[in-house]
Amino acid sequence: MTLTHAQLAAMLDSTNLRLDATEADIEQLCREAALHRCACVMIYPASVALAARILAGTGMHIGTVIGFPSGRFSTEAKAAEITAAHRAGAHEVDIVMNYPALLAGHSAEVAAEVSALTHLAHRQGQLIKVIVETCFLDDARRLEALRICEDAGADFIKTSTGFGTAGAKVEHIAAWSKARRGAIRLKASGGIKTLADARALIDAGATRLGTSNASTLLAELSGAPVQSGAGGGY
Protein backbone atom coordinates (compact mmCIF):
# COMPACT_ATOMS: atom_id res chain seq x y z
CA MET A 1 0.00 0.00 0.00
CA THR A 2 1.31 3.42 -0.97
CA LEU A 3 0.99 5.88 1.90
CA THR A 4 1.36 9.63 1.98
CA HIS A 5 2.51 11.47 5.07
CA ALA A 6 -1.05 12.69 5.68
CA GLN A 7 -2.55 9.22 5.26
CA LEU A 8 -0.16 7.57 7.69
CA ALA A 9 -0.45 10.38 10.24
CA ALA A 10 -4.24 10.08 10.18
CA MET A 11 -3.90 6.44 11.26
CA LEU A 12 -1.60 7.12 14.22
CA ASP A 13 -2.65 7.45 17.85
CA SER A 14 0.48 9.21 19.06
CA THR A 15 0.98 7.77 22.51
CA ASN A 16 2.77 8.49 25.77
CA LEU A 17 1.84 6.08 28.54
CA ARG A 18 5.32 6.01 30.00
CA LEU A 19 5.27 5.79 33.78
CA ASP A 20 7.79 8.60 34.18
CA ALA A 21 6.31 10.99 31.58
CA THR A 22 6.49 14.66 32.57
CA GLU A 23 4.22 17.55 31.66
CA ALA A 24 6.91 18.70 29.24
CA ASP A 25 6.79 15.27 27.56
CA ILE A 26 3.01 15.50 27.17
CA GLU A 27 3.28 19.01 25.76
CA GLN A 28 5.88 17.84 23.21
CA LEU A 29 3.70 14.86 22.26
CA CYS A 30 0.69 17.15 21.72
CA ARG A 31 2.58 19.71 19.64
CA GLU A 32 4.16 17.05 17.42
CA ALA A 33 0.82 15.29 16.93
CA ALA A 34 -0.86 18.56 15.98
CA LEU A 35 1.97 19.39 13.57
CA HIS A 36 1.66 16.03 11.81
CA ARG A 37 -2.18 15.87 12.12
CA CYS A 38 -2.21 12.50 13.83
CA ALA A 39 -5.52 10.81 14.58
CA CYS A 40 -5.21 11.63 18.27
CA VAL A 41 -2.87 11.80 21.23
CA MET A 42 -3.24 8.93 23.68
CA ILE A 43 -2.36 9.74 27.28
CA TYR A 44 -3.31 8.93 30.86
CA PRO A 45 -6.57 10.41 32.23
CA ALA A 46 -4.77 12.82 34.57
CA SER A 47 -3.07 14.45 31.56
CA VAL A 48 -6.25 15.05 29.53
CA ALA A 49 -6.94 18.53 30.91
CA LEU A 50 -3.33 19.57 30.17
CA ALA A 51 -3.61 18.25 26.62
CA ALA A 52 -6.93 20.05 26.16
CA ARG A 53 -5.26 23.35 27.05
CA ILE A 54 -2.29 22.73 24.76
CA LEU A 55 -4.43 21.59 21.83
CA ALA A 56 -7.22 24.14 22.15
CA GLY A 57 -8.22 25.41 18.71
CA THR A 58 -6.21 22.81 16.78
CA GLY A 59 -9.04 20.35 16.14
CA MET A 60 -6.85 17.51 17.43
CA HIS A 61 -8.55 14.63 19.17
CA ILE A 62 -7.49 13.63 22.67
CA GLY A 63 -7.67 9.99 23.70
CA THR A 64 -7.19 8.36 27.07
CA VAL A 65 -7.07 4.90 28.59
CA ILE A 66 -9.69 3.41 30.91
CA GLY A 67 -9.23 0.51 33.35
CA PHE A 68 -5.61 0.49 32.31
CA PRO A 69 -3.62 -1.69 32.00
CA SER A 70 -5.17 -4.73 33.71
CA GLY A 71 -8.89 -4.31 32.97
CA ARG A 72 -9.58 -5.64 36.48
CA PHE A 73 -11.72 -2.75 37.64
CA SER A 74 -15.43 -2.60 38.33
CA THR A 75 -17.75 -1.47 35.56
CA GLU A 76 -18.74 1.45 37.78
CA ALA A 77 -15.11 2.54 38.15
CA LYS A 78 -14.54 2.36 34.40
CA ALA A 79 -17.75 4.31 33.76
CA ALA A 80 -16.65 7.01 36.21
CA GLU A 81 -13.29 7.26 34.41
CA ILE A 82 -15.03 7.62 31.04
CA THR A 83 -17.30 10.39 32.33
CA ALA A 84 -14.44 12.24 34.04
CA ALA A 85 -12.36 11.98 30.87
CA HIS A 86 -15.23 13.41 28.84
CA ARG A 87 -15.53 16.37 31.19
CA ALA A 88 -11.77 16.97 30.97
CA GLY A 89 -11.85 17.00 27.17
CA ALA A 90 -11.25 13.44 25.92
CA HIS A 91 -12.82 12.62 22.55
CA GLU A 92 -11.75 8.96 22.51
CA VAL A 93 -11.49 6.28 25.20
CA ASP A 94 -9.51 3.05 24.96
CA ILE A 95 -10.96 0.74 27.62
CA VAL A 96 -9.31 -2.46 28.75
CA MET A 97 -11.67 -5.41 28.57
CA ASN A 98 -11.75 -7.58 31.68
CA TYR A 99 -9.94 -10.28 29.73
CA PRO A 100 -9.16 -12.33 32.89
CA ALA A 101 -12.94 -12.71 33.31
CA LEU A 102 -13.18 -13.77 29.66
CA LEU A 103 -10.47 -16.37 30.24
CA ALA A 104 -12.37 -17.61 33.29
CA GLY A 105 -15.46 -18.24 31.16
CA HIS A 106 -17.53 -15.25 32.30
CA SER A 107 -18.36 -14.13 28.77
CA ALA A 108 -21.82 -12.77 29.63
CA GLU A 109 -20.41 -10.49 32.32
CA VAL A 110 -17.68 -9.23 30.00
CA ALA A 111 -20.20 -8.60 27.23
CA ALA A 112 -22.51 -6.71 29.57
CA GLU A 113 -19.67 -4.45 30.68
CA VAL A 114 -18.43 -3.70 27.16
CA SER A 115 -21.99 -2.95 26.05
CA ALA A 116 -22.67 -0.62 28.99
CA LEU A 117 -19.42 1.28 28.56
CA THR A 118 -19.87 1.57 24.79
CA HIS A 119 -23.34 3.03 25.24
CA LEU A 120 -22.04 5.48 27.84
CA ALA A 121 -19.17 6.66 25.65
CA HIS A 122 -21.44 7.03 22.62
CA ARG A 123 -23.99 9.03 24.62
CA GLN A 124 -21.17 11.43 25.45
CA GLY A 125 -20.05 11.62 21.83
CA GLN A 126 -16.86 9.66 22.45
CA LEU A 127 -15.31 7.10 20.16
CA ILE A 128 -14.54 3.84 21.99
CA LYS A 129 -11.80 1.28 21.40
CA VAL A 130 -11.74 -1.96 23.40
CA ILE A 131 -8.33 -3.38 24.31
CA VAL A 132 -8.42 -7.16 24.64
CA GLU A 133 -4.70 -7.95 25.26
CA THR A 134 -4.30 -10.50 22.50
CA CYS A 135 -1.04 -11.91 23.90
CA PHE A 136 -3.00 -13.61 26.69
CA LEU A 137 -5.80 -15.02 24.49
CA ASP A 138 -5.84 -18.06 22.24
CA ASP A 139 -7.41 -18.01 18.77
CA ALA A 140 -10.89 -18.89 20.03
CA ARG A 141 -10.84 -16.25 22.76
CA ARG A 142 -9.59 -13.58 20.37
CA LEU A 143 -12.56 -14.29 18.10
CA GLU A 144 -14.91 -14.34 21.08
CA ALA A 145 -13.58 -10.92 22.10
CA LEU A 146 -14.23 -9.68 18.57
CA ARG A 147 -17.85 -10.87 18.73
CA ILE A 148 -18.36 -9.17 22.10
CA CYS A 149 -17.05 -5.88 20.75
CA GLU A 150 -19.11 -6.14 17.57
CA ASP A 151 -22.30 -6.95 19.47
CA ALA A 152 -21.71 -3.99 21.81
CA GLY A 153 -21.30 -1.59 18.90
CA ALA A 154 -17.73 -0.60 19.80
CA ASP A 155 -15.95 1.51 17.21
CA PHE A 156 -12.68 -0.43 17.41
CA ILE A 157 -11.22 -3.59 18.84
CA LYS A 158 -7.61 -3.09 19.86
CA THR A 159 -4.83 -5.60 20.35
CA SER A 160 -2.74 -4.53 23.30
CA THR A 161 -1.94 -2.20 26.17
CA GLY A 162 1.77 -2.32 25.47
CA PHE A 163 2.26 -3.67 28.99
CA GLY A 164 1.58 -7.35 28.25
CA THR A 165 4.04 -10.01 27.15
CA ALA A 166 3.73 -9.06 23.47
CA GLY A 167 2.20 -6.35 21.34
CA ALA A 168 0.42 -6.30 18.00
CA LYS A 169 0.75 -9.33 15.75
CA VAL A 170 -0.01 -9.23 12.04
CA GLU A 171 -1.68 -12.64 12.17
CA HIS A 172 -4.11 -11.49 14.88
CA ILE A 173 -5.15 -8.41 12.91
CA ALA A 174 -5.54 -10.53 9.77
CA ALA A 175 -7.72 -13.07 11.59
CA TRP A 176 -9.99 -10.32 12.94
CA SER A 177 -10.19 -8.69 9.53
CA LYS A 178 -11.31 -11.95 7.97
CA ALA A 179 -13.77 -12.86 10.75
CA ARG A 180 -15.49 -9.53 11.44
CA ARG A 181 -19.12 -9.36 10.44
CA GLY A 182 -19.61 -5.62 10.10
CA ALA A 183 -18.00 -2.23 10.33
CA ILE A 184 -15.91 -2.57 13.49
CA ARG A 185 -12.43 -1.19 12.92
CA LEU A 186 -9.11 -2.65 14.07
CA LYS A 187 -6.42 -0.91 16.10
CA ALA A 188 -2.96 -2.42 16.47
CA SER A 189 -0.75 -1.30 19.32
CA GLY A 190 2.39 -2.40 21.07
CA GLY A 191 5.83 -2.77 19.53
CA ILE A 192 5.23 -0.75 16.35
CA LYS A 193 8.69 0.70 15.92
CA THR A 194 9.37 0.80 12.17
CA LEU A 195 7.58 1.74 9.00
CA ALA A 196 7.72 -1.91 7.96
CA ASP A 197 5.86 -2.85 11.17
CA ALA A 198 3.21 -0.23 10.42
CA ARG A 199 2.78 -1.23 6.79
CA ALA A 200 2.40 -4.92 7.64
CA LEU A 201 -0.35 -4.20 10.18
CA ILE A 202 -2.16 -1.80 7.84
CA ASP A 203 -1.98 -4.35 5.02
CA ALA A 204 -3.49 -6.93 7.40
CA GLY A 205 -6.47 -4.68 8.11
CA ALA A 206 -5.59 -2.18 10.86
CA THR A 207 -6.81 1.37 10.34
CA ARG A 208 -5.38 2.77 13.59
CA LEU A 209 -1.95 2.22 15.06
CA GLY A 210 -1.10 3.06 18.65
CA THR A 211 2.56 3.99 18.89
CA SER A 212 5.02 6.01 20.91
CA ASN A 213 7.07 6.30 17.72
CA ALA A 214 4.73 8.37 15.55
CA SER A 215 7.29 11.02 14.60
CA THR A 216 9.89 8.35 13.84
CA LEU A 217 7.51 6.43 11.56
CA LEU A 218 6.58 9.60 9.70
CA ALA A 219 10.22 10.60 9.38
CA GLU A 220 11.06 7.17 7.97
CA LEU A 221 8.27 7.57 5.42
CA SER A 222 9.66 10.92 4.30
CA GLY A 223 13.30 9.85 4.50
CA ALA A 224 14.15 12.61 7.00
CA PRO A 225 15.09 11.18 10.43
CA VAL A 226 13.45 12.83 13.44
CA GLN A 227 14.26 12.18 17.08
CA SER A 228 11.06 12.84 18.97
CA GLY A 229 11.89 11.51 22.42
CA ALA A 230 8.30 12.14 23.48
CA GLY A 231 6.76 8.70 23.26
CA GLY A 232 6.49 5.86 25.69
CA GLY A 233 4.39 2.95 26.84
CA TYR A 234 3.55 1.44 23.44
Catalytic residue among 78, 129, 158, 169, which? 158
Active site residue 193: no
Catalytic residue among 13, 94, 155, 197, which? 94
> What is the SS3 assignment for the chain?
CCCCHHHHHCCEEEEECCCCCCHHHHHHHHHHHHHHCCCEEEECHHHHHHHHHHCCCCCCEEEEEECCCCCCCCHHHHHHHHHHHHHHCCCEEEEECCHHHHHCCCHHHHHHHHHHHHHHHHHCCCEEEEECCHHHCCHHHHHHHHHHHHHHCCCEEECCCCCCCCCCCHHHHHHHHHHCCCCCEEEEECCCCCHHHHHHHHHHCCCEEEECCHHHHHHHHHCCCCCCCCCECC
Burial class (CB in 10 A: 0-12, 13-18, 19+), 8: buried
Q: Which residues are paired to 130 by β-bridges? A: 95, 157
Active site residue 129: no
Active site residue 158: yes
Q: Which residues does the annotation mark as catalytic?
A: 94, 158, 187
